[in-house]
Amino acid sequence: MKIENLKSVKADSSAVKILGRTLSDNSVLWLILSASGVEFEVSAKCLYFNLVGDATAHPPADGKTSEMNWARYEIFVDGKSVHLGSMDEAEKSVCVFEGSETRKARVRLLKLTEGTQSFMGIKDIMIDGDGTISPTARKNLLIEFIGDSITCGYGVEGKSAEELFTTQTENALKAYAYMTAENLGADCNLTSFSGFGIVSGWTDSGDLNPIQLVPDHYKKFAFSWNTKMFENREWDFSTYRPNLIVINLGTNDDSYTQDKEERQAQYASEYVKFLKEVRKENPASYIILSMGIMLGGNRLFPWIEKAAAEYTKQTGDTRLSTLHFVPQTEEEGFGSDYHPSEATQIRCAGVLTDFIKSLIAKGKISTGISEDEKKRLVDVAYRMQDFSYSPYSNFRVGAALLTREGKIYTGCNIENAAYGPSNCAERTAFFKAVSEGERNFRAIAIVGSPKGKSDDFCAPCGVCRQVMAEFCSPDFEIILSKNGGEEIKSHTLAELLPLSFSL
């Protein structure tokens, strides 16, 4: 089938699930950072991607091209790799499949390389006229990894430690971060930049490198050595609210701090400042501060522990842990520029996966509520409206509270002629649960409306939010619904009550 006879579908959230830090500009979805891309369900006879590159994909004036900075990408169909390519042209069309019969499949396209070297874009997706595309569901567990070249998968496909860097040996999908997310069935964002640190970027001389600092670029879409595209555009943190953030920064800082205690203390102090910034943008996330993997930088781990302790002392925030990886070994081998081999990355992914599973088991990390669970809670909440005692307001509210063990406690609003003794549906559910010994909660569904109507969301009042803060973690999920359950949206407790009172 000729591509000119196909219909064009734009890679936006109505058609695809967007993965990682991406940016839509002039109808092109630009894949910026490592492991950014799209995923969707398709039913079609044929499927093509029309891709575009940045300045690195354009041949220079002498007609020669350099693969050092080309963006790499990989396309998967039903979990199997079907195409591995590089943006060696300004534009290219890639056929994923075509035939005479309609095919149903789950398709994922991911950028393997980091934003510091190059960007690439999805101009559109082409399918036959009868074909359809729809986004896959977002996973219950969302993770953000903040890191350096280790997180980017720098040199993981290199053959030796002496091999110099090129994007053609970089593969974020073979890095511990992405593999950990896959092990846990999670979606992930990789906010990672090779050579970057907290107080100093990589330095051969031992002098301060103030250019390559993650805190300066965390709020931006990307930093690139090779293009000025989007350099002043900021990331919208509301588009991705991770349950968990894993920070792995310090290897590059160590090239500056070395064994100098004053510099190491400076690193810890700047780490505390960065943690506050991360927490400000991600109030509900659990945070893991990790260190190790490469041989350099391990002497900074005690200073990470000091930073964590100081941060908790200053803020009272205890929702964080530290993790020290065992560094790479000769037996595991090395990738380019002495970076971790695939064997090292696999081992560290296993360590991190087990560590996260232990935190989930302890209830420290919420894995979110599935769409089916949300609908079930909403249905229960709607049924509870029938029991509302609201003769004065005629506003009926129902609530369904889910514990971490899966039990549901229900509530409705109960009014009183004196008004003061009235009780909201949310507090009715909480007080029933607490009076029976429950203390660990995952989510609550709330619906409210005058009898016969259901055309607006009903958010909890301030008193109910404070009661939730007494018993729930900041990532506790508050599910609202209207129109009889046709529309559902969720907020975390941290979003609805950012400054709760506590003693």
> What CA–CA distance (Å, rounded) separates 240 from 144?
9
Backbone phi, psi, residue 189, to 5°: -115, 130
Tokens for 258?
């070395």
User: Element (H or E) spanning 266, and its range?
Assistant: helix 261-281
Indicate left, alpha or beta for 230 from its phi (over 0: left) and psi (-120 to 50: alpha): left
Which one is catalytic: 39, 270, 426, 477?
A: 426
**162 tagged catalytic:** no
Tokens for 193?
């930049």
Tokens for 244?
């968990």
The set of long-range contacts for 495-502, using a CB threshold of 8 Å and a minimum separation of 24, is: 495/241, 495/283, 495/284, 496/459, 496/460, 496/465, 497/462, 497/465, 497/466, 497/468, 497/469, 498/283, 500/465, 500/466, 500/469, 501/466, 501/469, 502/469
> What CA–CA distance (Å, rounded) separates 36 from 114?
9
CB 274 within 8 A of CB 172: no
Q: Nearest Cα to 377, choosing from 313, 429, 312, 413?
A: 429
CB 246 within 8 A of CB 290: yes
CB 29 within 8 A of CB 22: yes
> What CA–CA distance (Å, rounded) separates 164 from 161?
8
Tokens for 195?
């050579």
Q: Nearest Cα to 397, choosing from 454, 441, 345?
A: 454
DSSP β-ladder status, 477-482 and 408-412: unpaired
Q: Collapsing DSSP states into helix, strand and coil, what is residue 306?
A: helix
Contacts (Cβ under 8 Å, ≥6 apart) of 239: none
Q: Can you tell me which residue has the tokens 């900074």?
A: 300
SS3 track for 155-171: CCCCCCCCCCCCHHHCC
Active site residues: 426
